[in-house]
Chain A
């Protein structure tokens, strides 16, 4: 069984706060890590695909870093807005090209 863990499970912040959360995965047999954003009553949408140790990706106020040697990725949101409220999922891909292991997500609630 392969464990992908996300922490914290949920997070409540005020509008304007910056926040970050973690995805931990096995440090061996790394192929890629995906981050998804999942709004209530919608389907998950891809944010980032990260493949190289030290990768940093950015999309607007959201950015992510990757450390494959120690098996973690951070997602950062700068100046959180209420529309950032969603569950953020990470998905780990090891050697098997198409097999993804999802974390249980971090549920972010941004209060106006």
Chain B
């Protein structure tokens, strides 16, 4: 029944590992987003896909790679995790011109 679901909710891992966060929406939206909530609690856009096509790619390290296998999914893969990657990552989706619906966030902790 959940509109935008992210998995996992918590991710604790070692520096240098590669990990993925998955996001799925069942709202029929054509646009999906990844945000990082930084230490000052700002939500900063990382990527946005519209109909599986990358349309926003902010200045994030190449270690972050989004993948959208279809309109309902947008996954985030992170290579060679660093301490500074520790944050809460939010997935969101929307229809054109409409507000975004957010997932519950994935809290990533790097040891």
Q: B32: nearest residue on chain A (CB-CB)?
A: A98
Q: B41: nearest residue on chain A (CB-CB)?
A: A104
- Of B43, B56, B105, most buried by chain A (CB within 10 Å of CB) is B43
In contact, B103 and A98 (Cβ under 8 angstroms): no
Q: Interface majority SS on A: helix, strand, loop or mixed?
A: strand
CB-contact partner of B40 in A43, A49, A104, under 8 A: A104
Chain A contacts for B31, CB-based, 8 A: 98
In contact, A49 and B99 (Cβ under 8 angstroms): yes
CB-contact partner of A43 in B45, B55, B96, B103, under 8 A: B103
In contact, B104 and A43 (Cβ under 8 angstroms): yes
B48 within 8 A of A: yes
Q: A32: nearest residue on chain B (CB-CB)?
A: B97
Chain A residues packing against B (C-beta within 8 Å):
32, 34, 36, 42-46, 49, 87, 89, 91, 96-105
